[in-house]
Structure 1
Amino acid sequence: MNFNERSELLFKNLMSMYLNDGKPVGSTALAKLPEVGVSSATVRNVMADLERMGLIHSPHTSAGRIPTDLGFRVFVDTILTVQPLNQTVQQNIQQGFQRAQTQDELIGSASNILSSLTGMASLVMLPNKEQEVLRHIDFVRLGERRLLVVLVLNDNDVQNRIIELEEAASESELLEVANYLNKHFVGHSLRDVKDKLVNQMDEIRLNMNQLMRAIMDAADDVIDSKTKAVAPYFISGKTNLLNYQELADTDKLKALFQSFEQHTHMLNLLDKSMQAKGVQVFIGNECGHEIYQNCSIVTTPYDVDGEVVGVLGVVGPSRMHYDHIVPRVDMTAKILSSLLKGNR
């Protein structure tokens, strides 16, 4: 986009005024700014040029102008100056993770931190559960036929599940099954564990009695349920969107919330973000569906030991302060990545 100096100055000031109060900006208001220093007539001429370039438009019958999606895109790509985070904000992010112990708790905390810091809806895509590594498996008798299956994943992520057996199991039988599973499967991803269980079924059938095979099947069911997370991402702060006039329409919000719950539209976007490097800003139609008109989504991947495992970001109005939002999303991802490394 080719700006001359005057066009860029006026466009930058129009964006600043619109981002601050969300109202159409008139040529008279721009002309009154000390840094503009030209007449209202000159401003009107420049505004007409910007409108022809597709960067601004007049909503309804208003005399003022607001940015188009293209205008937001040009602003983000060529004019935006990202503000570095001050130490207080960084400390607030770190403190938000303090009580989290497991991987899921860390990811849930990241979502809460982002919604609080930005005043928008936030989401964090969960890592693929099939890639989680089995560290230990154990069985605890709770009664004659009631059994607690304990999975330890990625060091600190402990999953418990109570199951009912058709007949009572002795401590020695439980220990034998646990020893077998720990010997053959510890250190492997849950996907590999499931594959190996299938491949070794003949050996299991030969070497274990019916009860022990039932215990093995129960463990397999627990592993299977762990790999099938109900929701593919954490989402926090949806009601924050009520605070923005352009999104506060009941039908608009209802459609947005349904999109969050149905996952499909958002997952397509998050998958795209997984392939990109660094912070991505999706504006309006770039978000992949008309539901997100007047919205922007800011995302960035997070990793464990250099391997990208998920994406986090915020959903809000296109009229967001990108210079503040982008570094908050970026820093939260960096801190989450460092904590997940220690949690692995």
Structure 2
Amino acid sequence: MPYEDRRLEVLRAIVEDYVSTNEPVGSKSLADRHQLGVSPATIRNDMAVLEEEGYIAQPHTSAGRIPTDKGYRLFVDRLATIKPMSAAERRAIQTFLDGALDLDDVVGRTVRLLAQLTRQVAVVQYPSLSRSAVRHLELVSLTASRLLVVLITDTGRVEQRAVEFPAALSIESVSSLREAINSALVGHYLVDAPVEIEGLLARVDPQLRPALTTLSAVLLETLVERPEERLALAGTANLTRSTMDFPGSIRPVLEALEEHMVLLKLIGEVESPSTLRIRIGDENPVEDLRTTSVVSVGYGRGSTALAGLGVLGPTRMDYPGTIGAVRAVARYVGEYLAGA
């Protein structure tokens, strides 16, 4: 094979062996384990070039070589063949998710499933409120002047807020409010709510206007202007399988995982369900996570991404298997939401 292709095959072999053994890889073991068609001396020469170009490194004198972040990136971009899920695995995913009772259940099942399949830390973002449309808004009387507002979105999210009104509301007024606001908001995205509510205030019965003003202010402030983005996390203990993957200390990684805004930045910035994002080592914007890799993808209905999910683990990761699992699970969650 051409020289450059052979050198890439040597890199592929080093990555695969190091991921599976967690031991630096030498030229003799490469010659023994892989059908590279050349002598150990030729492999050593190829390894010297790969090291000079920054794709592999020697952790200790007289030791074998290990991939660098740059080596993993080349492997992912040019060498990795995505490992497809088996038919049994696909059936298991579908059966597991089909048993979900509601959105909380499906997110909980998804994050546990991802952690089990990849043996990494799994992160699943709830469908973003900013990308959700109103399915129904319910008003429940708690007292004469206090209502519980229950918002149900087309993605299955349920948000609740208690609202205190300046004056008591009759049963008829509550019913009229419910009818008016549902007629204005159902089917509209939450980001469009301000315009719809403004139009409703202009045309509603003047007697209802004070109560509707109070209700709309709470809706806009809590659900539109400051939408709460929620996450589910599972499999943190998987990071402790090999402390050698985290030079110095694993503590900064664990502390970063407690910051939900950090995790949202890593997996929540999605544009389409088909866009896979892989950040390796120093490519991570968060300094404390630069000993890790993050594989993430959007999930949703059709071409619309509603949120993101992914896994985080050491850079010594089974990238083909992880990418396959993340994509498969995201597809099934999207199908679940499409049928919800």
TM-score bracket relative to the smaller structure: 0.7 to 0.9
Distance 1:295 1:155, change over 3 A: closer
| Inter-partner Cα distance in structure 1 for 2:185 and 2:172 | 20
Distance 1:115 1:311, change over 3 A: same
Q: Tell me the equivalent position of 2:339.
A: 342
| Inter-partner Cα distance in structure 1 for 2:97 and 2:34 | 44
Q: Tell me the equivalent position of 2:154.
A: 154
Q: Tell me the equivalent position of 2:78.
A: 78
Q: Secondary structure at the match of 2:278?
A: strand
Q: How many Å apart are 1:271 and its aligned residue?
A: 5.7
Distance 1:97 1:223, change over 3 A: farther
Amino acid at match of 2:236: K
Q: Tell me the equivalent position of 2:319.
A: 322
Q: How many Å apart are 1:207 and its aligned residue?
A: 0.7
| Inter-partner Cα distance in structure 1 for 2:298 and 2:160 | 29
| Inter-partner Cα distance in structure 2 for 1:304 and 1:183 | 25
Distance 1:327 1:69, change over 3 A: same
Q: TM-score scaled to structure 1, two decimals?
A: 0.84
For residues 283-329 of structure 1, give each alpha carbon's deviation from its aligned partner in whole angstroms, at most 9, with x where no partner exists.
11222233233321112222223212222211111111122111111
Amino acid at match of 1:240: N
Distance 1:242 1:201, change over 3 A: same
Matches within 5 A, 1:43-122: 43-61=43-61, 63-122=63-122
Q: How many Å apart are 1:71 and its aligned residue?
A: 1.0
Alignment match of 1:242 (pick from 222, 236, 240) = 240
Q: Tell me the equivalent position of 2:206.
A: 207
Distance 1:188 1:158, change over 3 A: same
For residues 15-69 of structure 1, give each alpha carbon's deviation from its aligned partner in whole angstroms, at most 9, with x where no partner exists.
2210101111123333433635655444332321221122111114352110111
Q: Tell me the equivalent position of 1:21.
A: 21
Distance 1:217 1:272, change over 3 A: closer
Matches within 5 A, 1:235-274: 235-247=233-245, 252-270=249-267, 273-274=270-271
Q: Tell me the equivalent position of 1:291.
A: 288
Q: Secondary structure at the match of 2:33?
A: coil
Q: Secondary structure at the match of 2:83?
A: coil
Quick one: percent identity of the two aligned structures? 29
Query: Are 2:184 and 2:200, in contact at CA under 8 Å, matched by a contact in 1?
Result: no
| Inter-partner Cα distance in structure 1 for 2:235 and 2:321 | 18
| Inter-partner Cα distance in structure 1 for 2:21 and 2:41 | 24
Distance 1:213 1:257, change over 3 A: farther
Pairwise CA RMSD: 3.0
| Inter-partner Cα distance in structure 2 for 1:201 and 1:267 | 35
Q: Tell me the equivalent position of 2:123.
A: 123
Distance 1:231 1:214, change over 3 A: same
Q: How many Å apart are 1:93 and its aligned residue?
A: 1.4
Amino acid at match of 2:280: I
For residues 45-102 of structure 1, give each alpha carbon's deviation from its aligned partner in whole angstroms, at most 9, with x where no partner exists.
2321221122111114352110111111121222222222111211221123234344
Amino acid at match of 1:207: P
Distance 1:266 1:161, change over 3 A: closer
Q: Secondary structure at the match of 2:182?
A: helix
Matches within 5 A, 1:132-143: 132-143=132-143
Amino acid at match of 2:288: I
Gaps of 5+ in 1: none
Aligned residues: 338
Q: Tell me the equivalent position of 1:225.
A: 222
| Inter-partner Cα distance in structure 2 for 1:11 and 1:286 | 20
Alignment match of 1:309 (pick from 306, 311, 332) = 306
Q: TM-score scaled to structure 2, two decimals?
A: 0.85
Query: Are 2:13 and 2:34, in contact at CA under 8 Å, matched by a contact in 1?
Result: no
Query: Are 1:265 and 1:288, in contact at CA under 8 Å, matched by a contact in 2?
Result: no
Gaps of 5+ in 2: none
Q: Secondary structure at the match of 1:24?
A: coil
| Inter-partner Cα distance in structure 2 for 1:185 and 1:275 | 25
For residues 234-268 of structure 1, give each alpha carbon's deviation from its aligned partner in whole angstroms, at most 9, with x where no partner exists.
3222222112334456x743322333343455444
Query: Are 1:194 and 1:220, in contact at CA under 8 Å, matched by a contact in 2?
Result: no
| Inter-partner Cα distance in structure 2 for 1:50 and 1:335 | 39
Distance 1:3 1:166, change over 3 A: farther
